[in-house]
Amino acid sequence: MASSSPRVFLLPFPAYGLMIPMVDLASLFTSRGIDTTIITTPGNASFFPSHLNLLLLPSSPFTAVGLPSGCENLADLPQPEHQHMLTFMHAMSLLRKPLAALLAEHSPTCLVSDYRCPWTVDMGIPRIVFQPTGAFSAAVSDIIYTFEPHKKMEDPMEKFLIPGGIPHPICITRSELPGIFHLPREAFQITKESLCQCLGVIFHTFYELEPWYVDYLKASGPNKVWCAGVLPLYNKRAECTEAEWEPTKAWLDSKNPSSVIYLCFGSTSVLGEDQLKEIAAGLHASNHPFLWVVKGEWPGKNWNELEGLENKGRILMRWAPQVEILNHPSIGGFVTHCGWNSSLEAIAAGVPVAGWPQRAEQFLNERLLVEVMGVGVSMLGEGEARRRVRQRGIVGRERVREVVCELMGGGERAAEWRNRATEYCKMAREAVKDGGSSDQDMAALIEEIHRMAVPRFTI
């Protein structure tokens, strides 16, 4: 007789921004009595915290398709990354057979796989999809896929209105669409069909943040939708040791409340030296204390005209404990690439943002934060100014200074952004409390998993 204790296997897509929320989801399941195991490859194993169970798939598919040895994560792809994306996706699909063997050997109750793994359909056990993005970007992408308004635009920089009766008049350009729209239409169709073949979809959001878009997804698909809430709010994630956090915390402690502008562009975006210099000059001219996370090499030692920059702020190389930083009382604004994890972390901390999207669904997230929620401003601007920035590929120092000063200033718009950010912060925290909308959704999901685990008897 099979055990009635549920056991869930989770398969994240190997990109750090997608693995982080899967870790949080695994921790949530574990805290609610679910035996949880993460499935990954050897090259990604060290990323996951020791309290989580791991099972490993082979690395061989990645080298078999011609990727360099050890290239098992999007962050490890040779540059330019987009030229190798399809090869990486093909390597991932070659994990289907070893995954099937692993599932057959261990017989888990169900599989929770990232939506970017459509090849995990028909694995012989119930499958739940985890979509570590928001409902807004998912719903808008589905609407664009259905109506194809972007195909009428000859100029990739020309704006078009998103159709489908959405409650907010949102415009976007073809060049700002998620990457899947630059692939053959079949790529979106495969993903969409795989979503229709699962038990349901977990979204990393809460209902009050995107109600119309959650309702759209519930009405447009044949399966269930659960809103997990802002996952870091359930279980505090150990981002670093006390010793690692202390120097930055001490510096922040020395600053006035809401006086520091925080800048971070995600786990993979590496800005060129020209753009770094423009940001540095803008920060220098703004006269606001700053905390800036920089990926790659820091070339600032050669910038004689920016002497004294380090005295105005603190520069962290490569990585920072972002949740801790955003929740520090000295942080007053966040210049962000609008990745979904960063967006939710800002929302949960009640920090207004300056959106500076780089790629993927980040341009849609920027629209949500700036135009729908009204919790900040676009660093790229609008209209012809935005077109010029996008064509040039660099945001100038004066724009950086202007946005930082407005976001951190005492003007009417800044006050409104802060007030709305505070309102959404309260909603996010209410959603994960006992009886909140996301707490109820997660309770319903876990009850569903328990039902799957009950042995069925035949006579």
What confidence tens digit (pLDDT) does each residue in 153-169 have? 999 999 999 998 999 99
Residue range 320-344, pLDDT digits in tens: 899 999 999 999 999 999 999 999 9
Statement: residue 174 has pLDDT above 90: yes
- The per-residue pLDDT for 93 is 95
- 103 and 220 belong to one structural domain: yes
Whether the Cβ atoms of residue 428 and residue 347 lie closer than 8 Å to each other: yes
- 276 and 372 belong to one structural domain: yes
- 458 lies in some domain: no
- 424 and 442 belong to one structural domain: no
From 127, 23, 25, 18, select the one nearest 442 (Cα to Cα): 25
Whether the Cβ atoms of residue 29 and residue 56 lie closer than 8 Å to each other: no
Q: Examine residue 80 and say whether the peptide bond preceding it is cis (omega within 30 degrees of 0).
A: yes
**Residue range(s) defining the domain that contains residue 100:** 7-235+431-453
- 196 and 322 belong to one structural domain: no
- 64 lies in some domain: yes
Whether the Cβ atoms of residue 369 and residue 343 lie closer than 8 Å to each other: yes
Cα angle, residue 276 at apex, residues 273 and 282 outer, rounded to 5°: 140
Statement: residue 7 has pLDDT above 90: yes
Give 397's pLDDT tier (boundaries 50, 70, 90).
very high
Statement: residue 3 has pLDDT above 60: no
- 1 lies in some domain: no
- The per-residue pLDDT for 458 is 47
Residue range 41-85, pLDDT digits in tens: 999 999 999 989 999 999 999 999 999 999 999 989 888 777 888
Give 176's pLDDT tier (boundaries 50, 70, 90).
very high
Token pair in block for residue 21: 């929320």
Q: How many domains does the structure of the chain reveal?
A: 2
- 196 and 294 belong to one structural domain: no
What is the average pLDDT score of the chain? 92
- The per-residue pLDDT for 304 is 65
- 277 and 420 belong to one structural domain: yes
Whether the Cβ atoms of residue 278 and residue 394 lie closer than 8 Å to each other: yes
In CATH, what number is assigned to the domain containing residue 91?
Answer: 3.40.50.2000
- 366 lies in some domain: yes
Give 456's pLDDT tier (boundaries 50, 70, 90).
low
Question: Where do the DSSP E strands lie in 116-165?
Answer: 127-131, 159-161
Section 289-308 average pLDDT: 80
- 282 lies in some domain: yes
- 150 and 210 belong to one structural domain: yes
From 359, 366, 389, 397, select the one nearest 157 (Cα to Cα): 389
Statement: residue 283 has pLDDT above 70: yes
- The per-residue pLDDT for 2 is 45
- The per-residue pLDDT for 317 is 86
Token pair in block for residue 265: 């562009």
- The per-residue pLDDT for 219 is 94
- 180 and 300 belong to one structural domain: no
Statement: residue 428 has pLDDT above 90: yes
Give 392's pLDDT tier (boundaries 50, 70, 90).
confident
Statement: residue 431 has pLDDT above 60: yes
Residue range 189-201, pLDDT digits in tens: 888 888 889 999 9
- 368 lies in some domain: yes
Percent of the chain scoring above 70 in pLDDT: 97
Q: How many residues does the chain have?
A: 459
- 334 and 229 belong to one structural domain: no
**Residue 187 burial (C-beta neighbours within 10 Å; 0-12, 13-18, 19+):** middle
Residue range 219-238, pLDDT digits in tens: 988 789 999 999 999 987 76
Statement: residue 202 has pLDDT above 50: yes
- 252 and 382 belong to one structural domain: yes
- 279 lies in some domain: yes
Cα angle, residue 100 at apex, residues 22 and 9 outer, rounded to 5°: 25
Tell me the pairing of strands 35-40 and 53-56. parallel
- 215 and 252 belong to one structural domain: no
- 80 lies in some domain: yes
- 246 and 216 belong to one structural domain: no
